[in-house]
Amino acid sequence: MELDEKIELAAKWISDSNNLVIFTGAGISTHSGLPDYRGPDGVWTRRDKNLPPPKSLPWDQVKPNAAHYAIIELLKIGKLNYVISQNVDGLHAKSGIPFEMLAELHGNRYFMKCLGCNTKFTYEEVGWDKSIWGNGYRTDKVHRGQPNCPKCNDRLISSIVNFGDPLPSDELEEAINRSIRSDVFFVIGSSLVVYPAADLPLYAKKNGAKLIILNRGEIPLIFNPDLRFHEDIIDVLPQIIEKLKEIEEKD
């Protein structure tokens, strides 16, 4: 199929859907100035070649890009059911996706969470000073005097999930349920090699969803998408949304 035919088909499937789930990886944030991990110039790709990490913008300069706002357009026209992200950059929330429609499976660099009641707080809300108490990762040493949860007084940790840490059980469970119920599951910017997050497209497809994958890098053959885009996300996703709007206006 030609690219314009694939764009039209993706828009048609989304238009016909009742439970569209978007699943994003690091590739969606590259146009915000953040590197991906397994792309041609990704963090792990360069590491494996004994090269220094790719350059990245300072966090206070990182903003959502056209791909994030294309997803917001899906929300505005009522076609978005849920967003599942592997990213910790917080850009989906910054773009306007409400937290009740968002599972950040690997955490959010701007939030801490309580190990007791699971409530999330910004670092500022709890008075956590990283220069004194560090990042607050799950495996970090507990420091004397560090803030506890203002709600239940249990330990606060960074919401970021590092290698070896468990995924947030509540968000993972919700993501699994949403994936199973989806009728279109759209993967954007993920190489689908990090589990258990990468199981979610398989849950969706097993239960009858159409699987669309938009990612420039290679993906494992097991996923066998119904529609595959290899182009740059910025070149494709906004076009799908514009085509979708045309279809919706005709209906």
Give the SS3 label for residue 127. coil
Single out the catalytic residue among 31, 68, 92, 106: 106
Q: How far is the C-alpha of 195 from the C-alpha of 97, rounded, in Å? A: 24
Phi-psi region of 123 (alpha: psi -120 to 50; beta: other; left: phi over 0): alpha
The H or E element spanning position 72 is helix 66-76
Q: How far is the C-alpha of 106 from the C-alpha of 87, rounded, in Å? A: 6
Q: CA–CA distance from 122 to each of 19, 68, 138, 156 (Å)?
A: 31, 22, 16, 11
Q: How far is the C-alpha of 82 from the C-alpha of 132, rounded, in Å? A: 37
Query: Catalytic site residue 230?
Result: no
CA-based nearest residue to 106, from 160, 157, 172, 169: 160
Active site residues: 106
